[in-house]
A and B are shown apart, each in its own frame.
Chain A
Amino acid sequence: MQRIGVFVCHCGSNIAATVDVKKVAEMALLEPGVVHAEDYQYMCSEAGQARIQAAIKEKNLTGIVVCSCSPRMHENTFRSAAEKAGLNPYMVEIANIREHCSWIHKDMEEATKKAVILARAAIAKVNLNAPLKPGESLVTKRALVIGGGIAGIQTAIDIADAGYEVDIVEKTPSIGGRMSQLDKTFPTLDCSACILTPKMVEAAAHEKITIYTYSEVEAVSGFVGDFTVDIRKKARYVDSDKCTGCGVCQEKCPSKKSLSEFNRGLNTRSAIYTPFAQAIPNVPVIDTDACIKMKTGKCGICEKVCQAGAIDYQQKDEIVTQKYGAIVVATGFDTIKLDNYDEYAYNQSKDVITSLELERVMNAAGPTKGHLERLSDGKHPKEIVFIQCVGSRCADNRGKSYCSKICCMYTAKHAMLIRDKYPDVNVTVFYIDVRTPGKNFDEFYRRAVEDYGVNYIKGQVGKVIPQPDGKLLVQGADLLDNKQILKEADMVVLATAIEPNPDVRKIATMLTASIDTNNFLTESHAKLRPVESPTAGVFLSGVCQGPKDIPETVAQAGAAAVKAIGLLAKDKLLTNPCTAKSDQLLCNGCSTCANVCPYGAISYEDIEVNDHGIRETRRVAVVNSALCQGCGACTVTCPSGAMDLQGFSNRQIIAEVDAICR
């Protein structure tokens, strides 16, 4: 029989205000095995832990139940407290009477009754707990960063500076990401390329960093400390070692009609191309859909003009398999498609553009060489209207429910830059709210209004109607003056909502990292573990976790790096001892369990058994506890019930069921 102690936490008033904690302790004492029960203000505090430890020693407790917050919060706290008092940490069970009880119920009697039952279930379980001992696994001292934007670059540099090998996998032909497409950055109006390019160069030159551009993660297996990743290096058809980056091939390429991805499709590029001048690596790729040689077999001009002999039409995709201890996801974002927003005439008029397209228009390397002009006729605009929250903060399901966070600031930036460079252009901004939390952000916005005379109108735009003369009629509302507004504009710029890169779903699935309804990766704890995925060994950097601007992204990238470094610095990790175990006397050796094991952790051995005096050779399942992650799929598929999960055994779960239904 166990000797169980029950510790009921008040959590200040978080629990005690709705649950009669004294009653819970009192009722717990009536349960089988319970020899001690007490309540205390804060069980997780040092004093609370000391009480638990004292009780363990004084009453020779063999198991404890802490009725407190979620085990996801403090299970480890109480386990290590118990361990310090000489109790096996796996003899600790938590009854979640906060998140699952006091916080969702208002009626004290009802909440107390439920808390008693939850405690009873945990007591029933701990009665059947057995001490468990974690195993150890080795840590591969190498990190993978998925995504080569500013988030990925910063994370990689920080990890590499700590002395660990880092690989960056970037899908496009160059690192740089969205930031490389920006013209200027708020709130200081630095030139984006000027501050990004040195980082790109630093990453590329770093002896600890390997960059795989034009590559994608194809498969991930393994677990924290020991991931195995297949990386597909797509064929560039250009030998990176030979190419000098002279650019002659791109000049001479006769196929120049492909839309430039980098310039958001606003102009064209050649079939053999580097996305932008400062690309790293400065090695072009051949777009096989556009290349005449690839399509017809004729042409081959790039091969002829290449002095270095770097063109290789026979190149094949290559799979690189590498082991990693930690993986950082930095897959970034894209702007949403505007198909649901026909009222803004984005698809009807070339002069209705997204803010990201405006960045390219304003950029000296962009489609207009940095001149502000209408894309339809090249004319200089006199009236520009900015529409905020296009697809952000959307109440219906046309757009996104969240705030994209960066639009208010970049619109202020655009407005200011335009007014600065072209004082003859009138700029009007329609907004719901102007949100400027951030250092020097509100000052920045006020400068736009006060010093640059940008006309801010609180209200939304209902419609943008292209006029026969090429102008755009903007129908909006001014909520402060309570009037309808009709405004003729030469250009309309849509502050288009951002969303996670669509590929992130695929990557999240491979990593078994969870993802929210908006496809943002979920952090382990919204406040306290914001850069860690709930999947051990997977970290989050940048907008893949939620909308953020460059300074926040860089800060989070550093934070993700620190978490990864903390992992890589360890030589060994303790493994979860809640693994499957096969009872050799019950096992049929039928192989059903191995069929459902996602980790290949189950193998079969022929063993000599002595079953009640009958000696025979039997084929039985053996679980490799280093590989087993403890999902329990095998336990249910096992017809004989030979397979059980330690820490979540059949009997334990049934005991909980019985306790709840009693």
Chain B
Amino acid sequence: MSIENNNEFRPKIVAFCCNWCSYAGADLAGSSRLAYPADVKIIRVPCSCRVNPMFILRAFEKGADGVILCGCHPGDCHYTTGNYYARRRMTLLFSMLDYIGVENGRTRVEWVSAAEGVKFSQTMNEFVEKIHSLGKNVRLGDLRCKN
């Protein structure tokens, strides 16, 4: 099954999706056959507020080229307030990553409801395209090197 064309950059993209809105939105994208690149792999979490900034850093450090977090729209969180906390945490984290010189297009938050299969697919297509334009992530794998 070795199909890897070494010339072609295939990014590793982790998508954290909340169970109630975005994961269902991804399911809807699937059942509506709305394609997006296979580079995106989804991890299901109960709520966007479950995503520890550490998970995102971990993904980058392990070689992810992009990390996207999808949750319910503000005001629609299944747990009432989870996405508000997630929004603040991610804003600060993304700002910090930008500050240390990690290209800010590698991280993204998008609010996708259970009914927005189209938006989910569009978002993923856009995001993959963005990561393609940024190329391989080397910086977060290489923040501290002793030479």
Contact = CB atoms under 8 A, between A and B. Distances in A.
On whether A and B touch (CB less than 8 Å), the answer reads yes
Interface in A606-662: 629-633, 635-637, 645, 648, 650, 653-654, 656-658, 660-662
8 contacts: A20-B1, A101-B30, A109-B3, A514-B20, A514-B78, A514-B114, A631-B49, A636-B89
Interface stretch (A111-119, A297-305, A389-397): A111-119
A346 to B, nearest CB: 30
Contact of A99 (B3, B31, B81, B114): B31
B139 interface: no
A104 B115 contact: no
Interface stretch (B40-48, B102-110, B126-134): B40-48
A111 B30 CA distance: 13
B76 A515 contact: yes
A293 interface: no
B62 to A, nearest CB: 4
A526 B25 CA distance: 12
Interface in B26-62: 26-27, 29-31, 33-36, 38, 41-47, 49-55, 58-59, 62
A112 B45 contact: no
B47 A632 contact: yes
Interface string B72-115: 10011111111001000100000000000000000000000111
A23 interface: yes
Residue among A114, A578, A632, A653 with most chain B CB within 10 A:
A632
Nearest to B41: A660
B43 A534 contact: no
Interface in A117-133: 117-118, 121
Contacts of B12: 660-661
A600 to B, nearest CB: 12
Contacts of B80: 512, 598
B1 A112 contact: yes
B24 interface: yes
Nearest to B124: A104
B85 A648 contact: no
Interface of B: 1, 3, 12, 14, 19-21, 23-24, 26-27, 29-31, 33-36, 38, 41-47, 49-55, 58-59, 62-64, 72, 75-82, 85, 89, 113-116, 121
B89 A660 contact: no
Interface in A311-346: none
A22 to B, nearest CB: 11
A98 B58 contact: no
A73 to B, nearest CB: 8
Nearest to B16: A653
A509 interface: yes
A19 to B, nearest CB: 11
A657 B33 contact: no
A661 B30 contact: no
Residue among A23, A105, A522 with most chain B CB within 10 A:
A522
Contact of A661 (B14, B29, B44, B51): B14
Given A512-B76, A514-B72, A534-B114, A104 B49 contact: no
A598 B62 contact: no
B72 to A, nearest CB: 7
Contacts of A104: 29-30, 33-36, 121
B115 A660 contact: no
Contact of B49 (A101, A633, A658, A661): A633
Contact of A535 (B23, B26, B78): B78
Contact of A508 (B42, B62, B76): B76
A199 B27 CA distance: 40
Contacts of A111: 38
A100 B46 CA distance: 17
A106 interface: yes
Contact of A630 (B26, B38, B46): B46
B116 A517 contact: yes
Contacts of A515: 76, 113
A250 interface: no
A78 to B, nearest CB: 15
B20 A109 contact: no
B76 A110 contact: no
A473 B21 CA distance: 48
Contact of A629 (B43, B62, B79): B79
Contacts of A73: 27
Nearest 3 CB-CB pairs, A to B?
A99-B30, A632-B50, A516-B115
Contact of B50 (A109, A505, A522, A635): A635
A654 B55 CA distance: 6
A437 B123 CA distance: 36
Nearest to A647: B46
Contacts of B21: 514
A660 B44 CA distance: 13
B85 A514 contact: no
A645 B50 CA distance: 9
A140 interface: no
A479 to B, nearest CB: 29
B47 to A, nearest CB: 4
B14 to A, nearest CB: 6
B107 to A, nearest CB: 14
Contacts of A512: 76-80
Interface in A58-87: 70-73
Contacts of A662: 62-63
Given A104-B29, A596-B49, 4 more contacts: A104-B30, A113-B38, A517-B113, A658-B58
A202 to B, nearest CB: 35
B58 A654 contact: yes
Interface string A9-21: 0000000000010
Nearest to B56: A657
A631 B81 CA distance: 10
Given A105-B35, A657-B55, A636 B50 contact: yes
Contact of B30 (A100, A106, A114): A100
Contact of A658 (B54, B62, B114): B62
A318 to B, nearest CB: 26
Contacts of A107: 38
A145 to B, nearest CB: 22
Contacts of B54: 650, 654
Contacts of A635: 50, 52
B3 A522 contact: no
Given A112-B1, A113-B38, A535-B78, A631 B29 contact: no
B3 A113 contact: yes
Contacts of B52: 635-636, 650, 653
Contacts of B44: 71, 96
A596 B85 contact: yes
A103 interface: yes
A103 B33 contact: yes
